[in-house]
Chains A and B, each alone.
Chain A
């Protein structure tokens, strides 16, 4: 009961429900892509990163090879490594807890934790969102896969349209400024140019190379693209003055999140690792 009065836990639960529910669409699309029930559940239980899971089945559905599917999933999961570093610095877990925490390190758990300022609330937020999303994501994946099996041919039900909407929905929250929009457009165009020229699945990997080059060349702020699919703090981080989210900060979700998600990376740079949630008027934009 006392836990339910924790603001981080309450936010974590609503994030878990919203995120878990879209496990429904993953389950249904996965069996439509040709994976069986066990394979679908293996992805949700073991890979456990929504974007990478959608990437894997998206490549398979398009006729891509297993190698291409795995590569797309692995590349899209690189940001989880960054989140791992951030959580490790933020929560300073004892060694034996690192492996379970690593498995629960996803957009939503990291964003919930980093949106809090009190260390205990950060810890509660991470665990509550991580475990909550894990349980509901797997439960709804199962339901979605069973429903998808019952539906039959994906084209007749417009499930291919659902896949399109799902990927756009994953991309959307990460596009709040000109730079990420430019990266998205360039990568989409490169992909389409490559489609007739190389085997299915490979265009996505070519786009990944282009995206990495664009990132290396310094287009966009450091934290762009590292936003959760379901924003735990859509109206600003807990306890944060509204003003911090207006203007530039509001215009770019990447910048907005910098007070939360990516933000303590910036806080670290200025040498205040124990105050990761300190709101920053600058929005943490780091133009190299």
Chain B
């Protein structure tokens, strides 16, 4: 399937997931295990995506300018900077690190 196909399928699944929540009985909310899985999935996936985008280069692991971006972003978040500022600082950090010779 083409990328377009996967994009539209992802969109359809997203809408269906949200809508399904409006259709199922509310008693499902009494299930703490269900809530916990939804929460831990969110955390686990975001952590995995952070790790891959920082260290993966295809199927290899690499330590390069992106690590600098990670560290700078962490400091900015710790200082409670807004999301957009964090993202911009990440870009600047990686860019500067490359200018200074990081891979």
Contact = CB atoms under 8 A, between A and B. Distances in A.
Given A161-B68, A220-B36, A208 B19 contact: no
Nearest to B4: A39
B87 to A, nearest CB: 4
Contact of B87 (A22, A171, A254): A22
A229 B43 CA distance: 12
Of the candidates B18, B46, B66, the one having the most CB atoms from chain A within 10 angstroms of its own CB is: B46
Interface string A75-105: 1111111111111110001000011011101
Nearest to A95: B22
A180 B43 contact: yes
Contacts of B95: 156-158, 161
Contact of A73 (B10, B19, B24): B10
B50 A164 contact: yes
A204 B48 contact: yes
A129 interface: no
A182 to B, nearest CB: 10
B45 A211 contact: yes
Interface residues of A, number: 117
Contacts of A77: 13-14, 17-18
A13 interface: no
Given A35-B3, A73-B14, A76-B41, A58 B53 contact: yes
B36 A167 contact: no
A22 B37 CA distance: 27
Interface residues of B, number: 82
A207 B48 contact: yes
B82 interface: yes
The majority secondary structure among interface residues of chain B is: helix
Nearest to B24: A85
B94 A47 contact: no
Contact of A187 (B48, B68, B73, B87): B48
Contacts of B76: 165
Interface string A141-174: 0000000000000011111111111111111101
B42 A174 contact: yes
Contacts of A167: 46, 49-50, 53
B72 A165 contact: yes
A7 interface: no
A54 B11 CA distance: 13
B5 interface: yes
A200 B26 CA distance: 38
Would you list the 6 A-B pairs with minimal beta carbon distance, nearest first?
A: A84-B21, A211-B44, A161-B94, A165-B90, A225-B39, A161-B69
Interface of A: 18, 21-22, 24-25, 35, 39, 42-43, 46-49, 51-52, 54-56, 58-63, 66-67, 69-70, 72-89, 93, 98-99, 101-103, 105, 155-172, 174-175, 180, 183-192, 195-196, 199-200, 203-204, 207-208, 210-212, 214-216, 218-226, 229-230, 254, 262, 265, 268-269, 273, 286, 288
Given A164-B69, A165-B69, A196-B61, 13 more contacts: A76-B42, A81-B18, A82-B29, A101-B22, A159-B91, A163-B90, A168-B50, A180-B39, A187-B51, A196-B59, A199-B59, A224-B36, A273-B26
